[in-house]
Amino acid sequence: DKARARSVYEGVDALTAGDIAEVIYYCTTLPAHVCINDLTITPTQQAAVSHVARRQE
């Protein structure tokens, strides 16, 4: 059910579309002499149905 599916992400700061948009904005506003050849964006926390990796505090 939907409530159970949502509970997988409780307490996890997942990446959002806004996070990706900020990175894209940053890359597109760099000076012309700067070239981004590769970019990898990964979450510091991740959740799936069978596993949750949360940030250790």
Neighbours of 11 (CB within 10 A): 11
Let me know: does 34 contact 3? Beta carbons within 8 Å: no
Query: Phi/psi class of residue 11: alpha, beta or left (left: φ > 0; alpha: ψ in -120 to 50)?
Result: left
pLDDT at 54 over 90: no
Other CB atoms within 10 A of residue 39 CB = 9
Q: Any bridge partners for residue 52, and if so which?
A: 47
pTM for this entry: 0.64
Q: Which two tokens stand for residue 18?
A: 């806004």
- pLDDT for 21 equals 97
Q: Is the predicted pLDDT of residue 52 greater than 70, yes or no?
A: no
Read off the pLDDT of residues 3-38 as tens digits, 9 standing for 90 and up.
Answer: 887 777 777 778 899 999 999 999 999 999 999 999
State the pLDDT at residue 36.
95
pLDDT for position 26: 96
What is the predicted pLDDT for the residue at 24?
A: 96
